[in-house]
Each structure stands twice: as C-alpha cells, then as structure tokens.
Amino acid sequence: MADLPEGVLPENVSKESALEAMNQLMSDPKGLELLMELQSNPRVMQAAMEMSTGGEAAAQKYAKDPEVQRYMERVQQLMGLEGN
C-alpha cells in the first residue's frame, strides 16, 4: 500500500492511514464479507486491481461505473476513509 499511485485515495487520506484502515477492514467480519463479495465479482475485482496500480487514470476510468463505485464506497465506509 505504501507505493500506491496518486489519485487512488481520497485527498484527505494518507497512505499510512489507508494501510491501518485496510488492516482493520480485514479484521472486521463485515470487512471480510465485503472483500469476499468483491473477489466473487470478476469485473469489480479487475477494476479494484486497476485502481490500486493505475492511479488517477484508472480511478477516472471507473468513476461513472455505478457497480464499481458502489463497492468502492462500501470499502471506504468500512475503512473509515470517506472523502470530504
């Protein structure tokens, strides 16, 4: 997570905070359930992988995809990373 490209996280979230939040997500039963759900949807999983490595360009590619955005919002909520 420390080498995430720009544009992947909300502007007000540091990479360190995101790493801590991801650890919390993985220790939360709801978080694990959401991650399992994400992994069971190949299209959304592909989008998540692209956004984790492709930065702003990948984030923009999926910005208007309601299904992807729904998952990403849920992940951010569970991680406590909602943007302002």
Side chain identity, residue 45: M
10-residue mean pLDDT profile of the chain (84 residues): values are: 50 68 82 87 89 82 92 83 56
* Rounded-to-integer distance, Cα 63 and Cα 65, Å: 6
pTM, two decimals, is 0.63
Q: For position 2, what pLDDT does the model report? A: 41
Residue 32's pLDDT is 87
pLDDT at 1: 42
Are 67 and 43 in contact, with CB atoms under 8 Å apart? yes
Q: For the purposes of burial, counting CB atoms within 10 Å of the CB of 17, is it exposed (0-12), middle (13-18) or buried (19 or more)? A: middle
Q: So what's the pLDDT on residue 59?
A: 85
Residue 2 identity: A
Given this model, what pLDDT does residue 52 score? 77
Q: What is the pLDDT of residue 68?
A: 92
